[in-house]
Amino acid sequence: MRILVVEDEKKLASFIKRGLKEKGYAVDVAADGDSGLFQAREVPYDLIVLDIMLPGKDGLYICRQLRKLKLGTPILMLTARDDVEDKISGLDAGADDYLTKPFVFAEFLARIRALIRRNTDAASPVLKVADLQLNQITRKVTRGDREIELTSTEFALLEYLMLNAGQVVTRTMISEHVWNDDFDSFSNVINVYVNYLRKKIDADFDHKLIHSVRGAGYVLKES
């Protein structure tokens, strides 16, 4: 899952980025309204965290613009004031949820998870394909009765494949949703990580779940 954080307070932005990265999200930060709006239009983010008070275009303007462009990406609005007016204008502008700064990171995370889940219409945080299970909240992954330890990038990649189970995901889709802006699209990082995942998910099992689709990408499916 890839998240755009539009926040001009450097300390807060890097705190959010670090925290989200630890949880396996790919994160890009935009420090002003104009670059935030540009990024949000260019990249198919899974969620946008949008501060209201920004240099350049403000958060409310950006939110309205994105909704006008029919961009349905979930938006979590941040504001410094616990002000009912701000909250109402944020929701009126098309934001999906709202959080007042300063906030507790655990609550921030919970809201992000809820918004992403709502958008992927996964009713439960537990994704299942055959005997493979991934819990998006506890981050526990099991195959059969065996627990599988994954790094945060491996987890993010598997989560993305499982959310799209049965459908071919291209390398471009993977790079757009699992990696952030620092990703070098000419590298073979994706193949490397798919191979790591195969070793952990498939190698010891007769029944393989991760399949390559020649010239297209990968698909995770039962058979």
> By the 8 A CB rule, do 96 and 46 touch?
no
Q: Cα–Cα distances in Å, from 71 out to 68, 120, 138, 173? A: 7, 15, 30, 17
Rank residues 38 and 196 by Cβ distance to Ca ion and give the closer one.
38
Our CB check for Ca ion shows the closer of 52 and 156 to be 52
Q: By CB under 5 A, tell whether 51 contacts Ca ion.
A: yes
Secondary structure class of 197 (helix, strand, coil): helix
Stretch that binds Ca ion, among 7-15, 82-90, 96-104, 127-135 (CB under 5 A): 7-15
Residue whose CB is less far from Ca ion, 86 or 154: 86
- The one-letter code for the residue type at 186 is F
Closest among 215, 213, 223 to 168, alpha carbons compared: 213
In the complex, what is the shortest distance from the CB of residue 58 to Ca ion, in angstroms, rounded to a whole number?
9
Question: 52 vs 201, which CB is nearer to Ca ion?
Answer: 52
Q: How far is the CB of 101 from Ca ion (least distance, A)?
A: 8
Q: Is 160 exposed, middle or buried (0-12, 13-18, 19+ CB in 10 A)?
A: buried
Cis peptide bond prior to 74, omega within 30° of 0: no
Considering CB under 5 A, how many residues would be counted as binding Ca ion? 3
Residues 53-82, interacting with Ca ion (CB under 5 A): 53
- Given the rule CB under 5 A, which of 1-9, 84-92, 137-145, 181-189 is the region that contacts Ca ion? 1-9
Residue 75 to residue 46: CA distance in whole angstroms: 9
- Interaction site with Ca ion (CB under 5 A): 8, 51, 53
